[in-house]
Structure 1
């Protein structure tokens, strides 16, 4: 089971308050596994997940983004 939750101020996203941030201020992930693995193995699994998860790395690491506009 994977649970994801986060802190988001919709006032910024909806443009209601210009001082409110747009986007998540915090994201929490929880993994619940049905396994007999020991704590060391689970710790290694979490370490590898944090290292190689494309979504997690994209969120956690500054990503270069380019936005352009063009007319027809």
Structure 2
């Protein structure tokens, strides 16, 4: 597993927004994302923002994602 980044907030449509400044390879759309306990969180739906510090939108599998804010996400 590789570090994807830290969860910043939830988008208006409920996606998890992850900030990552140290990605060597950007994740592809559809790649599964996990929390630090290796529990499946969701799938990468979009990578956007500047190349030097991209943001990743993860479409979650759970509805209660407020607890994810501030935690690390992995792919």
Give your verdict on TM over 0.5.
no
Query: What is the TM-score of this pair, normalised by structure 1?
Result: 0.32
TM-score by length of 2: 0.31
Pick the structure with greater CA Rg: 1
Choose between structure 1 and 2 for higher RCO, CA contacts under 8 A separated by at least 6 residues. Answer: 2
Q: Name whichever structure is richer in strand by fraction.
A: 2
